[in-house]
C-alpha cells in the first residue's frame, strides 16, 4: 500500500526517457503531482543524466527533492538505484518486471509505470484511482492494489492496458472522485454498483 498514490498520466510523461520516468515515479510515492513535478524539475535541471545524479552529493539531492516529501529516503533510493543501474545494467534501465522489482524502492506500481510510460509495454499501474474505481463499479472486489492489478489483468483486454491507467486517473480526478463522486454526471452510473447502493 505504500506505493498507492496518484500516478502521472501519459500527458505528464512527455519525457519517456526510462531513467527519468523511474526517478519521477520514485519521487511520486506518497505525494501530490505538483510536489513531484517540482522535485523532478529541480533535480534534472541541475543533474542532467544518471551519471551526474550518481556522482551528486547526497545532501544536494536531498535539497533538490525536498518538495516530494520523505526526501532523505527518496534521495538515498535515487542515488542507490542510479549506482545499481550503472554498475549492473550498463546505465540502461531494465525493461522487465523481474529486474525492475529488484531495484530498491521499486514495487509493482513503480515498475508498471516504467514499463508503460517509458517502454510502452502493456502493464496496469494501480494507483488510488485504479484501485478504488473498479471496486466501486463492482467489476473487482479486492483489498490491495496487487490483487486489483491481478484481477484487472484477467478481465481487461491486453491491448487496453497502456491506456487504462490514464483514462481511469482522469475519470477519478473529474467524476468518480474519492469524496462526493459526481454520479449524476457519470456516463456509466447505470452499471455502477456504488451508484445503486
Does 113 belong to an annotated binding site? no
Does 176 belong to an annotated binding site? yes
Q: Which long-range contacts (CB under 8 A, 24 or more apart) does 98-103 make?
A: 103/22
CB 95 within 8 A of CB 115: yes
Structure letter (DSSP) for residue 90: T
CB 46 within 8 A of CB 64: yes
Find the Cα–Cα–Cα–Cα dihedral 58, 36, 178, 127, rounded to 10°: -70
Binding-site sequence positions: 176, 183, 186, 192
Binding-site sequence positions for [4Fe-4S] cluster: 176, 183, 186, 192
Amino acid at each position: 500500500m505504500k506505493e498507492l498514490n496518484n500516478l502521472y498520466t501519459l500527458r505528464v510523461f512527455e519525457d519517456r526517457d526510462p531513467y527519468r520516468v523511474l526517478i519521477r515515479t520514485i519521487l511520486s510515492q506518497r505525494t501530490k503531482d505538483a510536489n513531484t513535478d517540482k522535485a523532478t524539475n529541480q533535480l534534472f535541471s541541475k543533474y542532467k543524466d544518471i551519471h551526474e545524479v550518481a556522482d551528486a552529493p547526497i545532501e544536494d539531492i536531498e535539497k533538490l527533492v525536498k518538495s516530494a516529501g520523505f526526501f532523505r529516503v527518496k534521495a538515498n533510493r535515487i542515488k542507490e538505484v542510479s549506482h545499481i543501474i550503472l554498475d549492473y545494467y550498463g546505465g540502461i534501465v531494465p525493461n522487465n518486471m523481474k529486474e525492475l522489482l529488484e531495484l530498491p524502492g521499486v514495487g509493482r506500481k513503480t515498475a508498471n509505470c516504467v514499463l508503460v510510460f517509458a517502454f510502452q509495454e502493456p502493464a496496469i499501474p494501480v494507483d488510488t484511482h485504479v484501485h478504488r474505481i473498479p471496486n466501486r463499479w463492482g467489476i473487482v472486489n479486492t483489498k490491495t492494489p496487487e490483487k486489483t492489478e491481478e484481477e484487472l489483468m484477467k478481465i481487461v483486454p491486453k491491448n487496453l492496458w497502456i491506456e487504462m491507467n490514464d483514462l481511469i486517473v482522469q475519470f477519478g480526478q473529474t467524476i468518480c472522485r474519492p469524496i462526493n463522486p459526481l454520479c449524476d454526471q457519470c456516463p456509466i452510473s447505470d452499471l455502477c454498483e456504488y451508484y445503486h447502493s
